[in-house]
Structure 1
Amino acid sequence: MATTKELSVEEKLRALYDLQIIDTRIDEIRNVRGELPLEVEDLEDEVAGLTTRLEKLQSDLVTIEDSIKAKKNAIENHQAAIKKYTEQQKDVRNNREFNSLTKEVEFQDLEIQLAEKQIKELKASIEHKKEVVSNSKEKLEQKTTHLKHKKAELNDIMAETQKEESFLTEKSAEYEQQIEDRLLAAYKRIRSSVRNGLAVVSIERGASAGSFFTIPPQTQVEIASRKKIITDEHSGRILVDASLADEEREKMEKIFAKM
């Protein structure tokens, strides 16, 4: 909730410019971190995905090994059946019984051939999966090492900047309290719409900072009078005179020095 204290236009401009100085400093700290937090997050996702994939591959290998054991057991059963039917052929009473047993032996033999073919395919699948497991392990190790380094890098930066960022964030909230809701909303809207986050800029060499468009002399006089809030017709930024900007920068530097 904004303060109910009525500020003069000059006080509002100073509060806005102070807030801009603080927020710019916060932006600079976050720019130092750059894309690191996102890189760390992406690497964590990759490591988690590779770990899950590796677990699945290893589980698949166990399942295939179990299938091979089951096929080998089935072959032993078929071989036992062939032996039994072959023995029974010795005691048959007619050709019909002999032919029936012969068909059983042939069927069991076909089942053995099928099982052996399936075992061969399963073993080939194992070799392929082992190769994939090996590659996945290597990739996981690389990504884990990369993640470790990136995390260390981020932690170092965070350790260096966390105290300052916390201080500045508190100061930003404190200075926001001094600005009326409507003006604060305009400041935030402008800040979010410009690339460098500068919603309040000073006049430099007859133009708003960072702009090539000259501000008419009469408008410069009005800005310097600090009687009303004036925006740049080209960028929409709120304008302050150079003297006010210098005074506020010096004041804020003294505050920052207390960190």
Structure 2
Amino acid sequence: MAKKKAEATVEEKLRALYDLQLIDSRIDEIRNVRGELPLEVEDLEDEVAGMNKRMEKLNADLGAIEDLIKDKKNLIEEAKGLIKKYTSQQDNVRNNREYNSLSKEIEFQELEIQLAEKHIKEFKAQIEQKNEVIDETKTRLNERQDHLKHKQGELDEILAETEKEEDSLIKESGKFEKQIEDRLINAYKRIRTNVKNGLAVVPVERGASGGSFFTIPPQIQMEIASRKKIITDEHSGRILVDPTLAKEEQEKMQKLFDSIK
């Protein structure tokens, strides 16, 4: 029969939790180096995509207006052809009624030409306006594309320096999590979410919880140093470890960090 694995001591649990905290804090540092860059790049990509769509629509509108101008020019040519035809027919009419009827047709076609020319003029004005908007949009688009290229370059450079380390640390974080019982991991993650800088496990520094100004009573400090039970700070809820344990684990984890950089 297989021998049951001995349960980890409180000290082993504290060391594992603090090691996990050091790894997760290092991951946080790497991500903080990137800062808002990934979001900036994403926003710029969305902005450039939106401006490209606008350019497509403007060019499509321009094409539609140019087609309308062609239609009006064709109409003018047809009207001129009809005027020529009706004028020629007037030379062969038999009475005034036929002559007047043809005159009305000629007059109608002349009005059609005037109206078409008026529309062409309006369409050309629209094209001029569209071209102004296109030029402005193109200039703005080029500026945003250059800015995106610059920001993407910055992000790529940072990723090239840190991505491998971050991936390795995430794997290490997962390994350490598996070594700690679910109850403690859940508590650790909950505290990490609720406190500043994601510090769920901190050492006692100058008689106070790390990063806090609230003094811990000497009796509690002694209990923390004894490593017999897991103690949390009554003010912040953070899990507390003694300075000696913290120093030992920091030195151990620094070797790990150095090995995966």
Q: What TM-score does the superposition give when structure 2 sets the normalisation length?
A: 0.92
Is 1:179 the counterpart of 2:180 in the alignment?
A: yes
Q: 1:154 to 1:65 in 2, by over 3 A?
A: same
Whole-angstrom CA distance in 2 between matches of 1:68 and 1:161: 58
Q: Which residue of 1 aligns with 2:222?
A: 221
Q: Which residue of 1 aligns with 2:136?
A: 135
- How far off its partner does 1:5 sit? 5.7
Q: Which residue of 1 aligns with 2:19?
A: 18
- How far off its partner does 1:180 sit? 0.5
Whole-angstrom CA distance in 2 between matches of 1:44 and 1:12: 45
Whole-angstrom CA distance in 2 between matches of 1:219 and 1:94: 124
Whole-angstrom CA distance in 2 between matches of 1:255 and 1:80: 90
Q: Which residue of 2 aligns with 1:245?
A: 246
Q: Which residue of 1 aligns with 2:99?
A: 98
Whole-angstrom CA distance in 1 between matches of 2:90 and 2:196: 92
SS of the residue aligned with 1:6? coil
Q: 1:24 to 1:175 in 2, by over 3 A?
A: same
Q: Which residue of 1 aligns with 2:257?
A: 256
* 1:5-84 matched pairs, under 5 angstroms: 6-84=7-85
Q: Which residue of 2 aligns with 1:109?
A: 110
Q: Which residue type is aligned with residue 198 of structure 2?
A: G
Whole-angstrom CA distance in 2 between matches of 1:145 and 1:5: 61
> Percent of pairs identical after alignment?
69
Deviations 1:9-36 (A, max 9, x none): 1111110000000100110011001111
Whole-angstrom CA distance in 1 between matches of 2:103 and 2:83: 9
- How far off its partner does 1:75 sit? 0.6
SS of the residue aligned with 2:211? coil
- Equivalenced residue count is 256
Q: Which residue of 2 aligns with 1:199?
A: 200
SS of the residue aligned with 1:257? helix
SS of the residue aligned with 1:128? helix
Question: 5+ unaligned residues in a row in structure 1: which ranges?
Answer: none
- How far off its partner does 1:254 sit? 2.0
Q: Which residue of 2 aligns with 1:85?
A: 86
Whole-angstrom CA distance in 1 between matches of 2:122 and 2:6: 82
Deviations 1:72-92 (A, max 9, x none): 110111121122223333333
Deviations 1:50-104 (A, max 9, x none): 2222222222222222211111110111121122223333333333333322322
- How far off its partner does 1:170 sit? 1.5
Question: 5+ unaligned residues in a row in structure 2: which ranges?
Answer: none
Whole-angstrom CA distance in 1 between matches of 2:163 and 2:200: 25
State the superposition RMSD in angstroms: 1.6
Whole-angstrom CA distance in 2 between matches of 1:111 and 1:227: 100
Q: Which residue of 2 aligns with 1:120?
A: 121
SS of the residue aligned with 2:63? helix
Whole-angstrom CA distance in 1 between matches of 2:29 and 2:176: 19
Whole-angstrom CA distance in 1 between matches of 2:190 and 2:169: 20
Deviations 1:231-256 (A, max 9, x none): 11221111111111111111111222
Whole-angstrom CA distance in 2 between matches of 1:131 and 1:148: 26
> Which moved further from structure 2: 110-119 or 11-20?
110-119
Is 1:144 the counterpart of 2:117 in the alignment?
A: no
Q: 1:249 to 1:228 in 2, by over 3 A?
A: same
Whole-angstrom CA distance in 1 between matches of 2:224 and 2:48: 56
Q: Which residue of 2 aligns with 1:153?
A: 154
Whole-angstrom CA distance in 1 between matches of 2:213 and 2:97: 107
